[in-house]
Amino acid sequence: MTTAIKQASLRAQLQATEAILQALTTQMDVIERQFAVGAIPKSSVLSQRTLVAQTRASLPGLRKAVELNRHQLAVYAGQLPSDAELPEFTLDSLKIPTELPVSIPSALVRQRPDIRANEALLHAASASVGVAVANQYPQFSLTGSYGSASTQANQLGASAMGLWSLAAGVTQPIFNAGALSAKKRAAVAAYDQVAAQYQATVLTAFQNVADSLRALEFDATTLKQQVEVEAVARESLELTEHQFAIGAVSSLALLDAKRVYQTARISLIVAQEARYADTAALFQAMGGGWWNRPALSDISTKYGAAIDAKK
């Protein structure tokens, strides 16, 4: 998901940068003509050439990023980069929830694959401790021959041998007490290790969710500001176009307004990409797919209803 978001952002940035370069190039032609007739100093020409060169130099890097990102998408789709037929993602075609939560139920985070895997390891380690403890208890079998009286001379020693075998079975755990205790300590140590790993995994999961929620909070503020900047730049461009049509401003002013607008548009694109990417990161931090699990889906629905009620 984040790769597709990046692809859409890079394409939009490339288009906006190409538009800026076109405006700067046209503007440079006008400036050079003005310099040729002595209307402006050479420093103005050099400044404009620098802007054109800097903007042109940024295009190969953007084109490279677009292609490498497309190759990555092809691999994710199970295709060769040279043969891949992929849709052209755009930021306008991407949809995310208009309202995102300010907190997340812990039940949703628990269904993350890494947490569930560590839970299984913890259960297995706990069972191993139980087995080690159970092995310390004497294990033997009682039969009817033990303690019985013999009526034949050739069986007079049989009962005694049976009692001796029972005694040996009872005392065997005592003789192996050191080995059994060591196995128990090893099982307990393994359990403690798995428990610590499980705790670290859970804490990391909640950190991922907390980071994503905080990032989305800042993304919303940044995006709102960039929308305002882009709107002002667009309004300024429309005003300049109207003024140019009636001869109130020069073509240089119009070209500069176009450049400013495209620059503001790039900043808006970057802000949109950040919000899309952090939204995807939030879903990933929660494990995703809970809407396909009835129990978790019910939790999510009830949680959303509770949030709406508080509003």
**Looking at the structure, do residues 62 and 208 belong to the same domain, yes or no?**
no
The pLDDT value recorded for residue 235 is 95
**Hey, which of 29-43, 136-150, 257-271 has the most confident mean pLDDT?**
257-271
d(CA 126, CA 169): 28
Per the structure, the count of domains in the chain is 3
Same domain, yes or no: 151 and 231:
no
Cβ atoms < 10 Å from Cβ of 201: 19
- Report which DSSP code applies to 286: T
**CATH number reported for the structural domain that contains residue 285 in this entry:** 1.20.1600.10
Residue 184 pLDDT grade (very low, low, confident, very high; cuts 50, 70, 90): confident
Stretch 265-286: mean pLDDT: 89
- Predicted TM-score of the model (pTM): 0.68
Show the tokens assigned to 222: 């940044």
Helix (H, G, I), strand (E, B) or coil at 201: helix
48 Cβ neighbours under 8 A, 6+ residues apart: 24, 27, 28, 31
Given a contact cutoff of 8 angstroms between Cβ atoms, the answer to whether 71 and 81 are in contact is: yes
Least confident among 54-63, 107-116, 208-217? 107-116
Is the pLDDT at 296 greater than 70, yes or no? no
SS3 92: helix
Question: What is the average per-residue pLDDT within 225-246?
Answer: 92
Q: In sequence order, which ranges of 135-247 are alpha helices (DSSP H)?
A: 158-175, 177-245
Write down the mean pLDDT value for the chain: 78
Q: Is residue 153 scored above 50 in pLDDT?
A: no
Same domain? 187 vs 238: yes
Residues 113-140: what's their mean pLDDT?
79
Last residue of a domain, one of 95, 118, 151: 95
Higher pLDDT, 276 or 96: 276
Q: Same domain, yes or no, for 114 and 197? A: yes
Same domain as 275, residue 158 = no
- Size (the chain), residues: 311
d(CA 310, CA 300): 15
pLDDT above 70: residue 303? no
For residue range 201-225, list pLDDT tens digits in order.
Answer: 888 888 888 898 889 889 989 999 9
Confidence of residue 293 (pLDDT cuts 50, 70, 90): low
Query: Same domain for 24 and 67?
Result: yes
Mean pLDDT of 90-112: 69
pLDDT at 18: 93
In the chain, which ranges are E strands?
none
pLDDT computed for residue 115 by the predictor: 85
Instruction: Give yes or no: residues 47 and 83 share one domain.
Output: yes
State the pLDDT at residue 305: 45
Question: Do residue 243 and residue 281 come from a single domain?
Answer: yes
Band of residue 83 on the pLDDT scale cut at 50, 70, 90: confident
Task: Calculate mean pLDDT across residues 236-256.
Answer: 87
200 & 227 share domain: yes
| pLDDT reading at 133 higher than 80 | no
What pLDDT score does 151 carry? 46
- Domain extent for 163: 142-175
Asked if the model's pLDDT at residue 154 lies above 60, the reply is no
Domain shared by 201 and 259, yes or no: yes
* Domain limit, last residue, from 156, 175, 194: 175
Which of 140, 9, 26, 129 lies closest to 69 in space, CA to CA? Answer: 9
Q: What per-residue confidence (pLDDT) applies to 173?
A: 54
Q: 41 in helix, strand or coil? A: coil
In the chain, % of residues over pLDDT 70: 74
